[in-house]
């Protein structure tokens, strides 16, 4: 009776691995979320705004206080000025921002270039809107984009290029030369860019996040998406935003008003107030770099090979010296028999390219990382 619009899409791997972790009582390093609390002050602010009566519909584009805070932050960090009135939209997480932007911009038969391994929400959004994903692979150990290949794939049907830095699942980042190459490829074309920057504040070793907002010639054709879930340790609140020049944002807002309509009101007020009070972005780098380094130290002499992570809260481990098993099989064995859940990297490739690599989330308490490391060390 129902002909699926997404016949190749099943339950996300994150849910599958988490369910397996629960069933086998494994430590869950598969899903990307913190197992520690967010700042109590942020929770108090939400309660405060609820008690004050901020419980009804917010404006469609989000409350102006939060849009202004975002505009100032982006300007401070990347020097580009987004107009809070016309160029910023508060969304129900970055996922909704991505879906909404793709719906607003992609038409039947448009080609969208995406880089694999790719976060899992891009392809369904493209396909639901009649677009054609064009895959370009990045491979271990450094997961770099081959810009010559991108240049070869670009043609008059190319509508959008989706970039993601810091990159989930690989933990790689784009540098300024990458951005220059991207700029050269799109210059003189009508190609738009969707820049997924949800981990913009989780970047290590002194690297600077290369937002498209640092490059005016990219910003003028880009939609940036970001997530308070990642930056404030509140993935379950579903709070994110997108930024785009007025002409593009006008179309995104039209779709947003019928998709989400508006986003959680008291949380918008609380986040705006919280960011005004704190300088959360830089301290977050330090916080997660310590977790990355701690986890790496704990498993340093294991049989897993650490693939360096320059950003995000994910660590890739190469297990090729342990077994030849497929990564999906080994991830299952690791969960069921050794009690640590991870995500096999092949699921992020259309052709299920298996490089014997698993992704582990280190956004966890010290004790959780210690317990997981102890188990990994025994393998
Ligand atoms: C690369 C990337 N983009 C987007 C998202 C979605 O973010 P949100 O939870 O704000 O919807 C995630 C979440 O894991 C992600 O890793």
How far apart CA 92 and CA 241 sit, in angstroms, is 8
Contact at 8 Å (CB) between 293 and 343?
no
- Among the atoms of ligand 1, which is closest to the Cα of residue 98? 4
Ligand 1 close to Cβ of residue 268 (< 6 A): no
Lowest mean pLDDT among 177-191, 280-294, 316-330, 339-353: 280-294
Helical spans, DSSP H, in the chain: 13-23, 40-51, 64-78, 93-105, 122-128, 147-153, 176-186, 216-219, 228-231, 246-259, 265-277, 280-299, 327-338, 366-377
The predicted pLDDT at position 123 comes to 96
The predicted pLDDT at position 285 comes to 94
Q: Give the distance (Å) from ligand 1 centre to CA of residue 12.
A: 13
- Among the atoms of ligand 1, which is closest to the Cα of residue 312? 16
Ligand 1 close to Cβ of residue 168 (< 6 A): yes
Q: Give the distance (Å) from ligand 1 centre to CA of residue 303.
A: 30
pLDDT, average across residues 140-167: 97
The predicted pLDDT at position 54 comes to 98
Strands 132-137 and 340-341, sheet pairing? unpaired
pLDDT, average across residues 48-57: 98
Structure letter (DSSP) for residue 5: S
The predicted pLDDT at position 14 comes to 82
The pLDDT confidence band at residue 95, using thresholds 50, 70 and 90, is: very high
Q: List the Cα angle 148/151/153 in 5-degree steps.
A: 115
The predicted pLDDT at position 281 comes to 66
Ligand 1 close to Cβ of residue 198 (< 6 A): yes
Ligand 1 close to Cβ of residue 227 (< 6 A): yes
Alpha-carbon distances, residue 88 vs 44, 139, 160, 192, 239 (angstroms) = 26, 34, 20, 17, 14
For a ligand 1 pocket test, name from 198, 225, 288 the mutation site with the most ligand atoms within 8 angstroms of its C-beta.
198
Alpha-carbon distances, residue 212 vs 80, 83, 101 (angstroms) = 9, 16, 16
The predicted pLDDT at position 220 comes to 98
**Is residue 257 over pLDDT 90?**
yes
The SS3 of residue 318 is strand
pLDDT, average across residues 284-295: 97
Q: Give the distance (Å) from ligand 1 centre to CA of residue 307.
A: 21
How far apart CA 112 and CA 132 sit, in angstroms, is 6
**Is residue 33 over pLDDT 70?**
yes
| pLDDT tens digits along 126-136 | 999 999 999 99
The pLDDT mean for the chain works out to: 96
Contact at 8 Å (CB) between 240 and 96?
yes
| pLDDT tens digits along 161-184 | 999 999 999 999 999 999 999 999
Contact at 8 Å (CB) between 17 and 342?
yes
pTM over 0.85, yes/no: yes
**Is residue 282 over pLDDT 80?**
no
Burial class for 372, CB neighbours closer than 10 Å (0-12, 13-18, 19+): buried
Residues 6 or more apart whose Cβ sits within 8 Å of residue 306:
296, 299, 300, 315, 316, 317, 318
How far apart CA 101 and CA 1 sit, in angstroms, is 30
The pLDDT confidence band at residue 303, using thresholds 50, 70 and 90, is: very high
Ligand 1 close to Cβ of residue 34 (< 6 A): no
How far apart CA 101 and CA 125 sit, in angstroms, is 9
The predicted pLDDT at position 158 comes to 98
For a ligand 1 pocket test, name from 29, 89, 169, 230 the mutation site with the most ligand atoms within 8 angstroms of its C-beta.
230
Ligand 1 close to Cβ of residue 32 (< 6 A): yes
**Is residue 279 over pLDDT 80?**
no
Ligand 1 close to Cβ of residue 200 (< 6 A): no
**Is residue 89 over pLDDT 80?**
yes
Q: Give the distance (Å) from ligand 1 centre to CA of residue 227.
A: 7
């Amino acid at each position: 009776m129902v002909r699926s619009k997404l016949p190749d899409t099943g339950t996300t791997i994150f849910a599958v691995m988490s369910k397996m972790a629960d069933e086998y009582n494994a430590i869950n390093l598969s899903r990307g979320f913190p197992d520690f609390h967010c700042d109590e002050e942020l929770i108090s602010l939400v309660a405060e705004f609820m008690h004050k009566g901020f419980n009804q519909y917010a404006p469609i584009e989000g409350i102006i206080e939060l849009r202004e805070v975002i505009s100032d932050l982006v300007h401070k960090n990347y020097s580009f000025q987004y107009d809070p009135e016309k160029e910023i939209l508060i969304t129900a997480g970055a996922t909704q921002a991505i879906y909404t932007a793709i719906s607003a911009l992609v038409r039947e038969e448009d080609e969208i270039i995406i880089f694999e391994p790719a976060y899992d929400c891009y392809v369904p959004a493209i396909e639901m809107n009649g677009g054609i994903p064009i895959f370009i692979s990045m491979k271990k150990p450094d997961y770099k984009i081959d810009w010559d290949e991108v240049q070869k794939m670009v043609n008059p049907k190319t509508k959008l290029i989706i970039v993601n830095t810091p990159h989930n699942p690989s933990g790689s980042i784009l540098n300024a030369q990458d951005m220059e190459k991207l700029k050269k490829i799109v210059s003189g074309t009508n190609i738009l860019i969707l820049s997924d920057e949800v981990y913009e504040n989780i970047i290590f070793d002194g690297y600077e996040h290369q937002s498209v907002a640092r490059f005016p010639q990219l910003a003028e054709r880009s939609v940036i998406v970001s997530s308070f879930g990642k930056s404030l340790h509140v993935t379950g609140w579903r709070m994110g935003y997108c930024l785009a020049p007025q002409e593009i944002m006008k179309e995104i807002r039209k779709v947003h008003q019928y998709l989400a309509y508006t986003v959680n009101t008291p949380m918008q007020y609380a986040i705006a107030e919280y960011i005004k009070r704190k300088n959360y972005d830089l301290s977050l780098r330090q916080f997660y770099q310590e977790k990355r380094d701690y986890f790496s130290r704990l498993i340093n002499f294991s049989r897993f090979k650490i693939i360096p992570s320059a950003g995000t809260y994910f660590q890739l481990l190469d297990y090729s010296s342990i077994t030849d098993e497929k990564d999906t099989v080994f991830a299952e064995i690791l969960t069921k028999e050794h009690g640590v859940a991870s995500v096999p990297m092949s699921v992020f490739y259309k052709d299920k390219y298996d490089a014997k690599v698993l992704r582990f989330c280190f956004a966890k308490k010290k004790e959780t990382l210690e317990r997981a490391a102890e188990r990994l060390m025994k393998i």
